[in-house]
Amino acid sequence: MQKIVICSAMMVSMDGELLMVRKKGSLYFQLPGGKMAIGEEQEETLARELKEELQLDVSNIDLQFIGKHITEAVNEPDTLVEGNIYLIRLKEKYAFIPYEELEEVQWINKANWRNYKLAHLAAEFVVPKWLADTFDV
């Protein structure tokens, strides 16, 4: 089984909503972010991916590492994904437009999150922290 290493952002709006994205051709919603390039640091990967996918510049935004989780990838067969997750608390709620490989960008809330088909990393690691509002490592 192969393994990919990614860096993703758990982006939470000031009203507590969680940002999820869906890639073109995928049924699953996941966190914005992506695969690390060779020689890249985690925060560099996250900054690059958020700029590519959402046109978001995180150079002046606090990135808080909240943990790593390994699970089955939903979009790549026979592959494990090692997700390095960073919390970003936004001071305003942006109306993001999908770029690059994204099909859809969606703010979800604690009343409707079950209506979305979530990738394993989000379902197993991120959503429980978000619902419980526990972001410690």
pLDDT tens for each residue of 64-119: 999 999 999 998 889 999 999 999 999 888 899 988 789 999 999 999 999 999 99
Task: Compute the Cα dihedral for 115, 117, 120, 121 and give only its sign.
Answer: negative
Topology, domain 2-132: Nucleoside Triphosphate Pyrophosphohydrolase (3.90.79)
Quote the pLDDT of residue 75: 85
* Strand partners for 121: none
Residue in the structure block whose two tokens are 């914005």: 32
Residue 29 has pLDDT above 50, yes or no: yes
Q: DSSP letter at 57?
A: -
- Three-state DSSP at 3 gives strand
- The answer to whether the beta carbons of residues 60 and 47 sit under 8 Å apart is no
pTM, two decimal places: 0.92
Instruction: Record the tokens describing residue 41, joined without a space.
Output: 């640091």
Quote the pLDDT of residue 133: 82
Digit-coded pLDDT (tens) for 71-85: 999 988 899 999 999
Average pLDDT over residues 19-37: 95
- Three-state DSSP at 46 gives helix
